[in-house]
Amino acid sequence: MKVPFGTITVTESARRRITEALDSGRLTQGRFVRELEERFAGLCGVKHAVAVSSGADALTLALAALHDRGARPGDEVIVPALSFAATGNAVLAARFKPVFVDVRRDTLNIDPDMIEAAVTERTRAIVAAHLMGKPADMDRINEIAERHGLFVVEDAAEAHGALYKGRPAGSLGRAAAFSLYAAHAVSAVEGGVITTNDEDLARILRSLRAHGRACDCAECVLSAAGEPCPRRFETEGGQDIRFHFPRIGYSSKMNELEAAVGLGCLDVYEEISARRRENIGYALSQFSRLAPHLYTIREEPWETIGPHALPIILSEKAPFGRAELARRLEENGVETRTLFESMPTQCPGFAFLGYRPGDFPEAEYLGRRGLHVGVHQDLGTRHMEHVISTLARFLETRP
Protein backbone atom coordinates (compact mmCIF):
# COMPACT_ATOMS: atom_id res chain seq x y z
CA MET A 1 0.00 0.00 0.00
CA LYS A 2 1.22 3.49 -0.86
CA VAL A 3 0.68 6.36 1.59
CA PRO A 4 2.04 9.50 -0.13
CA PHE A 5 2.67 12.52 2.06
CA GLY A 6 0.64 15.08 0.12
CA THR A 7 -1.84 15.62 -2.66
CA ILE A 8 -3.62 18.40 -4.48
CA THR A 9 -7.28 18.49 -5.46
CA VAL A 10 -7.94 20.06 -8.85
CA THR A 11 -11.72 20.09 -9.28
CA GLU A 12 -13.79 20.37 -12.43
CA SER A 13 -14.85 23.83 -11.27
CA ALA A 14 -11.16 24.79 -11.08
CA ARG A 15 -10.60 23.52 -14.62
CA ARG A 16 -13.53 25.59 -15.87
CA ARG A 17 -12.15 28.71 -14.21
CA ILE A 18 -8.69 28.06 -15.65
CA THR A 19 -10.18 27.76 -19.14
CA GLU A 20 -12.18 30.94 -18.59
CA ALA A 21 -9.07 32.83 -17.49
CA LEU A 22 -7.07 31.54 -20.45
CA ASP A 23 -9.83 32.48 -22.89
CA SER A 24 -10.14 35.95 -21.37
CA GLY A 25 -6.43 36.69 -21.63
CA ARG A 26 -6.56 38.00 -18.04
CA LEU A 27 -4.03 35.86 -16.16
CA THR A 28 -2.51 38.25 -13.65
CA GLN A 29 -4.29 39.21 -10.44
CA GLY A 30 -7.98 39.81 -11.13
CA ARG A 31 -11.48 38.77 -10.18
CA PHE A 32 -10.68 35.16 -9.28
CA VAL A 33 -8.06 36.37 -6.82
CA ARG A 34 -10.57 38.76 -5.29
CA GLU A 35 -13.18 36.01 -5.05
CA LEU A 36 -10.69 33.73 -3.31
CA GLU A 37 -9.89 36.51 -0.84
CA GLU A 38 -13.55 37.05 0.00
CA ARG A 39 -14.26 33.36 0.48
CA PHE A 40 -11.11 32.70 2.50
CA ALA A 41 -11.93 35.59 4.82
CA GLY A 42 -15.36 34.04 5.36
CA LEU A 43 -13.78 30.67 6.11
CA CYS A 44 -11.67 32.24 8.88
CA GLY A 45 -14.42 34.51 10.19
CA VAL A 46 -12.51 37.74 9.49
CA LYS A 47 -13.22 40.87 7.48
CA HIS A 48 -10.22 40.87 5.16
CA ALA A 49 -7.96 38.46 3.31
CA VAL A 50 -5.09 39.40 1.01
CA ALA A 51 -3.83 36.76 -1.42
CA VAL A 52 -0.12 36.55 -2.16
CA SER A 53 2.34 34.28 -3.95
CA SER A 54 3.33 31.96 -1.07
CA GLY A 55 2.88 31.25 2.61
CA ALA A 56 6.35 32.63 3.26
CA ASP A 57 5.39 35.88 1.53
CA ALA A 58 2.20 35.98 3.58
CA LEU A 59 4.20 35.98 6.82
CA THR A 60 6.82 38.36 5.43
CA LEU A 61 4.23 40.95 4.43
CA ALA A 62 2.25 40.60 7.66
CA LEU A 63 5.43 41.52 9.53
CA ALA A 64 6.66 44.11 7.02
CA ALA A 65 3.43 46.05 7.58
CA LEU A 66 4.85 46.97 10.99
CA HIS A 67 7.19 49.44 9.30
CA ASP A 68 4.10 51.57 8.62
CA ARG A 69 3.45 51.55 12.36
CA GLY A 70 6.80 52.77 13.58
CA ALA A 71 8.96 49.65 13.50
CA ARG A 72 12.53 50.06 12.27
CA PRO A 73 14.83 47.68 10.39
CA GLY A 74 16.65 45.51 12.91
CA ASP A 75 13.83 45.53 15.45
CA GLU A 76 13.02 42.14 16.99
CA VAL A 77 10.34 39.54 16.38
CA ILE A 78 9.89 36.60 18.76
CA VAL A 79 9.65 33.28 16.91
CA PRO A 80 9.39 29.62 17.98
CA ALA A 81 12.69 27.81 17.54
CA LEU A 82 10.99 24.83 15.88
CA SER A 83 9.19 25.49 12.61
CA PHE A 84 9.59 25.19 8.88
CA ALA A 85 12.49 27.46 7.90
CA ALA A 86 10.10 29.87 6.16
CA THR A 87 9.04 31.16 9.59
CA GLY A 88 12.51 32.46 10.38
CA ASN A 89 13.22 33.45 6.78
CA ALA A 90 10.14 35.66 6.72
CA VAL A 91 11.32 37.66 9.74
CA LEU A 92 14.62 38.36 8.03
CA ALA A 93 12.92 39.17 4.71
CA ALA A 94 10.78 41.74 6.55
CA ARG A 95 14.04 43.38 7.75
CA PHE A 96 13.71 42.30 11.37
CA LYS A 97 15.83 40.20 13.70
CA PRO A 98 14.34 36.85 14.78
CA VAL A 99 14.60 36.18 18.51
CA PHE A 100 13.99 32.49 19.06
CA VAL A 101 12.15 30.90 21.98
CA ASP A 102 12.07 27.19 22.75
CA VAL A 103 8.96 25.08 22.26
CA ARG A 104 7.11 22.56 24.38
CA ARG A 105 7.77 18.99 23.43
CA ASP A 106 4.17 17.89 24.00
CA THR A 107 2.57 20.61 21.84
CA LEU A 108 5.41 21.36 19.36
CA ASN A 109 4.52 25.03 19.80
CA ILE A 110 6.24 28.02 21.41
CA ASP A 111 6.46 27.75 25.20
CA PRO A 112 4.45 30.70 26.56
CA ASP A 113 6.32 30.49 29.87
CA MET A 114 9.51 31.50 28.06
CA ILE A 115 8.23 34.34 25.88
CA GLU A 116 8.32 37.21 28.33
CA ALA A 117 12.01 36.74 29.10
CA ALA A 118 12.75 37.29 25.40
CA VAL A 119 10.95 40.66 25.22
CA THR A 120 13.19 43.73 24.97
CA GLU A 121 12.60 47.39 24.20
CA ARG A 122 13.14 46.54 20.51
CA THR A 123 10.57 43.73 20.35
CA ARG A 124 7.73 44.52 17.98
CA ALA A 125 5.88 41.24 17.39
CA ILE A 126 5.35 37.62 18.36
CA VAL A 127 4.90 34.93 15.71
CA ALA A 128 2.62 32.17 17.01
CA ALA A 129 3.02 29.11 14.78
CA HIS A 130 0.35 26.40 14.92
CA LEU A 131 2.72 23.55 14.09
CA MET A 132 1.14 20.46 12.54
CA GLY A 133 -2.18 22.27 12.84
CA LYS A 134 -2.20 22.25 16.66
CA PRO A 135 -3.17 25.72 17.90
CA ALA A 136 -0.63 27.61 19.96
CA ASP A 137 -1.64 28.86 23.42
CA MET A 138 -3.18 32.05 22.03
CA ASP A 139 -4.71 33.33 25.28
CA ARG A 140 -1.31 33.41 26.97
CA ILE A 141 0.42 34.81 23.88
CA ASN A 142 -2.14 37.57 23.42
CA GLU A 143 -1.97 38.47 27.11
CA ILE A 144 1.80 38.89 26.92
CA ALA A 145 1.51 40.86 23.69
CA GLU A 146 -1.08 43.21 25.14
CA ARG A 147 1.02 43.80 28.24
CA HIS A 148 4.00 44.84 26.12
CA GLY A 149 2.21 46.48 23.20
CA LEU A 150 3.24 43.82 20.69
CA PHE A 151 1.71 42.69 17.40
CA VAL A 152 0.72 38.99 17.19
CA VAL A 153 0.90 37.19 13.85
CA GLU A 154 -0.30 33.62 13.54
CA ASP A 155 1.83 31.39 11.34
CA ALA A 156 -1.19 29.36 10.29
CA ALA A 157 0.48 27.72 7.28
CA GLU A 158 -0.50 24.25 8.53
CA ALA A 159 -3.63 25.23 10.44
CA HIS A 160 -6.42 25.17 7.85
CA GLY A 161 -9.54 24.29 9.80
CA ALA A 162 -7.98 24.52 13.26
CA LEU A 163 -10.12 25.88 16.10
CA TYR A 164 -9.01 27.37 19.41
CA LYS A 165 -11.77 27.73 22.01
CA GLY A 166 -14.35 27.88 19.24
CA ARG A 167 -12.51 30.45 17.10
CA PRO A 168 -10.84 29.57 13.80
CA ALA A 169 -7.14 29.89 13.18
CA GLY A 170 -6.67 33.07 11.21
CA SER A 171 -8.80 35.12 13.61
CA LEU A 172 -6.73 34.77 16.79
CA GLY A 173 -4.11 37.52 16.36
CA ARG A 174 -3.75 40.86 14.60
CA ALA A 175 -3.00 39.00 11.38
CA ALA A 176 -2.43 35.44 10.21
CA ALA A 177 -0.39 33.91 7.38
CA PHE A 178 -1.64 30.81 5.54
CA SER A 179 0.14 28.70 2.95
CA LEU A 180 -1.77 27.44 -0.09
CA TYR A 181 1.04 25.13 -1.16
CA ALA A 182 0.18 21.79 -2.74
CA ALA A 183 0.16 19.78 0.50
CA HIS A 184 -2.46 21.92 2.25
CA ALA A 185 -6.22 21.51 2.58
CA VAL A 186 -6.85 24.61 0.48
CA SER A 187 -4.22 24.73 -2.23
CA ALA A 188 -3.54 27.05 -5.13
CA VAL A 189 -0.50 24.94 -6.14
CA GLU A 190 1.62 27.77 -4.75
CA GLY A 191 0.27 30.80 -2.95
CA GLY A 192 -0.62 32.23 0.43
CA VAL A 193 -3.23 34.37 2.18
CA ILE A 194 -3.03 36.92 5.00
CA THR A 195 -6.17 37.31 7.12
CA THR A 196 -7.01 40.22 9.41
CA ASN A 197 -9.86 42.27 10.87
CA ASP A 198 -7.78 45.45 10.55
CA GLU A 199 -8.90 47.42 7.48
CA ASP A 200 -5.87 49.71 7.49
CA LEU A 201 -3.56 46.72 7.72
CA ALA A 202 -5.29 45.08 4.75
CA ARG A 203 -4.76 48.25 2.75
CA ILE A 204 -1.03 48.24 3.59
CA LEU A 205 -0.76 44.56 2.67
CA ARG A 206 -2.30 45.14 -0.76
CA SER A 207 0.32 47.82 -1.34
CA LEU A 208 3.19 45.67 -0.05
CA ARG A 209 2.40 42.75 -2.37
CA ALA A 210 2.71 45.11 -5.38
CA HIS A 211 6.14 46.67 -4.72
CA GLY A 212 4.74 49.09 -2.12
CA ARG A 213 2.78 51.10 -4.67
CA ALA A 214 0.13 53.59 -3.65
CA CYS A 215 -2.58 51.59 -5.43
CA ASP A 216 -4.16 49.67 -2.53
CA CYS A 217 -7.90 49.41 -3.17
CA ALA A 218 -9.71 46.21 -2.31
CA GLU A 219 -11.47 46.41 -5.69
CA CYS A 220 -8.92 47.85 -8.09
CA VAL A 221 -10.59 48.72 -11.39
CA LEU A 222 -7.14 49.10 -12.89
CA SER A 223 -7.36 45.32 -13.20
CA ALA A 224 -10.28 45.63 -15.61
CA ALA A 225 -9.24 46.60 -19.12
CA GLY A 226 -10.71 49.82 -20.40
CA GLU A 227 -11.98 51.12 -17.05
CA PRO A 228 -9.94 54.13 -15.89
CA CYS A 229 -9.22 54.46 -12.18
CA PRO A 230 -10.68 57.66 -10.71
CA ARG A 231 -7.75 57.81 -8.23
CA ARG A 232 -5.06 57.29 -10.84
CA PHE A 233 -3.71 60.85 -10.84
CA GLU A 234 -4.73 61.96 -7.33
CA THR A 235 -1.20 61.98 -5.90
CA GLU A 236 0.53 65.26 -5.19
CA GLY A 237 2.13 66.36 -8.45
CA GLY A 238 -0.33 64.31 -10.49
CA GLN A 239 1.90 61.27 -11.09
CA ASP A 240 0.27 57.95 -11.92
CA ILE A 241 -0.71 56.22 -8.64
CA ARG A 242 0.49 52.92 -10.08
CA PHE A 243 4.04 54.29 -10.19
CA HIS A 244 4.12 56.04 -6.83
CA PHE A 245 5.71 53.95 -4.04
CA PRO A 246 5.19 55.24 -0.49
CA ARG A 247 6.81 52.17 1.15
CA ILE A 248 9.37 49.44 0.47
CA GLY A 249 7.43 46.54 -1.00
CA TYR A 250 7.63 43.09 -2.55
CA SER A 251 6.57 41.31 -5.74
CA SER A 252 4.10 38.87 -4.20
CA LYS A 253 0.87 38.82 -6.18
CA MET A 254 -1.19 35.70 -6.80
CA ASN A 255 -2.29 35.05 -10.39
CA GLU A 256 -5.68 34.01 -11.77
CA LEU A 257 -4.68 30.41 -12.57
CA GLU A 258 -3.55 29.80 -8.99
CA ALA A 259 -6.70 31.42 -7.64
CA ALA A 260 -8.80 29.18 -9.91
CA VAL A 261 -7.26 26.08 -8.32
CA GLY A 262 -7.74 27.53 -4.84
CA LEU A 263 -11.38 28.34 -5.52
CA GLY A 264 -11.92 24.77 -6.67
CA CYS A 265 -10.62 23.55 -3.30
CA LEU A 266 -12.94 25.97 -1.51
CA ASP A 267 -15.85 24.56 -3.53
CA VAL A 268 -15.25 21.16 -1.90
CA TYR A 269 -13.60 22.34 1.31
CA GLU A 270 -16.10 20.61 3.61
CA GLU A 271 -15.44 17.25 1.96
CA ILE A 272 -11.66 17.75 2.03
CA SER A 273 -11.74 18.82 5.67
CA ALA A 274 -14.03 15.97 6.75
CA ARG A 275 -11.79 13.32 5.18
CA ARG A 276 -8.66 14.82 6.70
CA ARG A 277 -10.31 15.05 10.13
CA GLU A 278 -11.44 11.44 9.91
CA ASN A 279 -7.92 10.33 9.03
CA ILE A 280 -6.08 12.19 11.76
CA GLY A 281 -8.79 11.38 14.29
CA TYR A 282 -8.38 7.66 13.64
CA ALA A 283 -4.59 7.84 13.80
CA LEU A 284 -4.62 9.79 17.07
CA SER A 285 -7.11 7.34 18.58
CA GLN A 286 -4.84 4.39 17.76
CA PHE A 287 -1.52 5.87 18.74
CA SER A 288 -1.53 4.46 22.27
CA ARG A 289 -0.70 1.10 20.64
CA LEU A 290 2.78 2.52 19.99
CA ALA A 291 3.62 3.59 23.55
CA PRO A 292 6.07 3.95 25.21
CA HIS A 293 8.57 4.28 22.37
CA LEU A 294 6.51 6.59 20.12
CA TYR A 295 4.13 9.43 20.89
CA THR A 296 2.26 12.21 19.10
CA ILE A 297 0.32 15.38 19.85
CA ARG A 298 -2.99 15.28 21.70
CA GLU A 299 -6.20 17.11 20.83
CA GLU A 300 -7.42 18.95 23.94
CA PRO A 301 -11.11 19.60 24.68
CA TRP A 302 -10.77 23.31 23.87
CA GLU A 303 -9.28 22.83 20.42
CA THR A 304 -9.63 21.19 17.05
CA ILE A 305 -6.34 20.32 15.40
CA GLY A 306 -6.10 21.45 11.80
CA PRO A 307 -5.70 18.12 9.93
CA HIS A 308 -2.41 18.80 8.15
CA ALA A 309 -0.22 15.81 9.05
CA LEU A 310 0.47 13.22 11.75
CA PRO A 311 3.62 13.88 13.81
CA ILE A 312 5.51 10.85 15.12
CA ILE A 313 8.07 11.45 17.87
CA LEU A 314 10.54 8.98 19.35
CA SER A 315 10.63 8.88 23.14
CA GLU A 316 13.93 9.31 24.94
CA LYS A 317 14.11 5.59 25.73
CA ALA A 318 13.36 4.38 22.20
CA PRO A 319 16.11 1.84 21.32
CA PHE A 320 16.31 2.99 17.69
CA GLY A 321 16.86 6.17 15.74
CA ARG A 322 14.66 8.26 13.47
CA ALA A 323 16.48 7.19 10.32
CA GLU A 324 15.81 3.52 11.04
CA LEU A 325 12.13 4.20 11.71
CA ALA A 326 11.74 6.34 8.59
CA ARG A 327 13.43 3.68 6.49
CA ARG A 328 10.98 1.02 7.70
CA LEU A 329 8.01 3.27 6.91
CA GLU A 330 9.35 4.10 3.45
CA GLU A 331 9.99 0.41 2.72
CA ASN A 332 6.30 -0.17 3.47
CA GLY A 333 5.07 2.59 1.16
CA VAL A 334 4.65 5.33 3.79
CA GLU A 335 6.25 8.57 2.68
CA THR A 336 7.80 10.55 5.55
CA ARG A 337 9.06 14.04 6.30
CA THR A 338 11.29 15.07 9.20
CA LEU A 339 9.65 17.24 11.87
CA PHE A 340 11.67 20.29 10.82
CA GLU A 341 14.66 21.50 12.84
CA SER A 342 15.62 23.99 15.51
CA MET A 343 16.13 26.92 13.17
CA PRO A 344 18.75 28.78 15.25
CA THR A 345 20.90 25.74 16.10
CA GLN A 346 20.24 23.02 13.51
CA CYS A 347 19.79 25.14 10.34
CA PRO A 348 23.23 26.44 9.24
CA GLY A 349 21.63 29.40 7.47
CA PHE A 350 20.77 30.95 10.84
CA ALA A 351 24.23 30.42 12.37
CA PHE A 352 25.15 34.09 11.91
CA LEU A 353 22.69 34.96 14.70
CA GLY A 354 25.12 33.45 17.21
CA TYR A 355 23.01 30.77 18.91
CA ARG A 356 24.74 27.58 20.08
CA PRO A 357 23.68 23.92 20.23
CA GLY A 358 21.92 23.31 23.51
CA ASP A 359 20.25 26.73 23.61
CA PHE A 360 16.88 25.21 22.59
CA PRO A 361 16.82 21.66 23.98
CA GLU A 362 13.18 20.90 23.25
CA ALA A 363 13.28 22.15 19.66
CA GLU A 364 16.57 20.36 19.11
CA TYR A 365 15.14 17.12 20.49
CA LEU A 366 12.18 17.30 18.12
CA GLY A 367 14.51 18.23 15.28
CA ARG A 368 16.44 14.99 15.89
CA ARG A 369 13.65 12.65 16.93
CA GLY A 370 10.51 13.71 15.05
CA LEU A 371 8.96 13.02 11.67
CA HIS A 372 5.49 13.29 10.14
CA VAL A 373 3.29 11.51 7.61
CA GLY A 374 0.27 12.55 5.54
CA VAL A 375 -3.42 12.49 6.47
CA HIS A 376 -4.73 14.14 3.30
CA GLN A 377 -8.02 13.75 1.45
CA ASP A 378 -6.82 11.06 -0.96
CA LEU A 379 -6.21 8.73 1.97
CA GLY A 380 -8.68 6.85 4.14
CA THR A 381 -8.89 4.86 7.37
CA ARG A 382 -7.22 1.84 5.75
CA HIS A 383 -4.17 3.97 4.96
CA MET A 384 -4.01 5.24 8.53
CA GLU A 385 -4.32 1.68 9.81
CA HIS A 386 -1.46 0.69 7.51
CA VAL A 387 0.70 3.43 9.06
CA ILE A 388 -0.13 2.38 12.62
CA SER A 389 0.28 -1.34 11.85
CA THR A 390 3.61 -0.76 10.15
CA LEU A 391 4.83 1.12 13.20
CA ALA A 392 3.48 -1.55 15.54
CA ARG A 393 5.18 -4.37 13.60
CA PHE A 394 8.43 -2.41 13.68
CA LEU A 395 8.19 -2.02 17.46
CA GLU A 396 7.55 -5.75 17.88
CA THR A 397 11.01 -6.39 16.48
CA ARG A 398 12.65 -4.09 19.01
CA PRO A 399 13.68 -5.05 22.57
Helix (H) or strand (E) holding 195: strand 192-196
pLDDT exceeds 70 at position 108: yes
Model confidence band, residue 242 (pLDDT cutoffs 50, 70, 90): confident
Domains 12-266 and 269-396 share a fold: no
Where along the chain do its domains lie? 12-266, 269-396
Helix (H) or strand (E) holding 49: strand 48-52
Which candidate, 375, 394, 158, 365, places its Cα nearest to that of 285?
375
- Span 263-299, pLDDT tens digits: 999 999 999 999 999 999 999 999 999 999 999 999 9
Helix (H) or strand (E) holding 294: strand 294-295
| Largest distance between two CA atoms of the chain | 79
- Of the residues 67, 184, 308, 386, which is catalytic? 184
Q: What is the DSSP string of 224-242?
A: STT---TTTT-STT---GG
Model confidence band, residue 220 (pLDDT cutoffs 50, 70, 90): low
Q: Are 40 and 269 in contact (CB under 8 A)?
A: no
Based on the residue annotation, tell me whether 184 is a catalytic residue of this protein: yes
- Span 140-180, pLDDT tens digits: 999 999 999 999 999 999 999 999 999 999 999 999 999 99
Task: Give the model's pLDDT for residue 306.
Answer: 98
Model confidence band, residue 219 (pLDDT cutoffs 50, 70, 90): low
C-alpha to C-alpha distance for 380 and 227, rounded to whole angstroms: 49
- The pTM score is 0.94
Task: Give the model's pLDDT for residue 73.
Answer: 98
C-alpha to C-alpha distance for 26 and 128, rounded to whole angstroms: 37
Identify the CATH number of the domain defined by range 12-266: 3.40.640.10
Give the class (CATH, top level) of 269-396.
alpha beta
Task: Give the model's pLDDT for residue 221.
Answer: 42
